[in-house]
A and B are shown apart, each in its own frame.
Chain A
Amino acid sequence: MSTDFFERQATAHRHTGRLVWLFCLAVIGIVAASWLVAFLAVDYVEASNAAHGRPNPPGLAMVPLYVAIASALLILLGTLYKIVELRGGGSVVAEQVGGRLLHHNTSKAAERRLLNVVEEMALASGVPVPPVYLLESEESINAFAAGYSPSDAVIGVTRGTVEKLSREQLQGVIAHEFSHILNGDMRLNIKLIGVLNGILLLGLIGAILFRVAALSGSGSSRKNGGAGLVLLLVALAVFILGYLGTFMGSLIKAAVSRQREFLADSSAVQFTRNPAGLAGALKNIGAKLQGSLVKHPHAAEASHMFFAQGIQVGFTSLLATHPPLKQRILAIDPGWDGKFPTTASSQATATAPATATATPVAATAATAVPAAMGLVGQQQAAAPAQPVADVAGAPGQVGNPTPDHHLYAAQLIRSLPDQLTAAAHEAYGARAVIYSLLLDQDPKIRDRQLQTLDQHSTPDVVKLTRQLIPIVDALDMHTRLPLVDMTLPALRSMSTAQYRTFVSCFQELVAADEQLELFEWILHHILLRHLKPQFERVRPARVVYYGLQRLGEPCSVLFSSLAQVGHTDDQAAIAFAAAKGVLDDVPLQLLDSSDCDLPQLQSALDQLAQVAIKQKERLINAAAACIAADQEVSVREAELLRAISDTLDCHMPPLLPGESIAPVAAAGSAQPVKTS
Chain B
Amino acid sequence: MREQAGERINPVVMEIETDPATCAEVARRMDLFERNWSWLEAHASEVYSHRGKFLCISGQELFVGDTVEEVLRAAKAAHPDDDGRFTRYIPKEKGPRIYAY
| Co-complex (A, B) | no
Interface residues of A (CB under 8 A from B): none
